[in-house]
Amino acid sequence: MSDPATRSSADEELEDLLRQWRNMQDAQPQPFFYSRVRARLVGEATGERQPLRTWLRWPSYAALLGIVLLLSGDGAALRSAEPVIHYQLDGGPPAPLPARR
């Protein structure tokens, strides 16, 4: 079990700390803080957005899309255009392919 003597001293320390916090003055912002914030907000609002930035990003988006499509495909871009020739193991002529039905 806990010792009641140590509990009362902990309670007293907590009460002292809370009393100190209640007696503290509220923090005040530095002089001209709000005027500086307002000036910065007005300056950002009047600045024009340049559409050039958006246009500069589009080629990189197109390149990224091309890479994703190339890597995620079924390999159709990597296939050879020449037909595959099947040779028999004994070195004879190619075996005929079965007809489709």
pLDDT at 35: 86
Amino acid identity, position 69: L
Would the CA dihedral through 48, 51, 52, 57 be positive or negative?
positive
Whether the model pTM is above 0.75: no
Say how far apart CA 99 and CA 82 lie, in whole Å: 19
- Cβ neighbours for 97, distance < 8 A, ≥ 6 positions apart: 86
Per-residue pLDDT tens digits for 28-49:
777 788 888 888 888 777 766 6
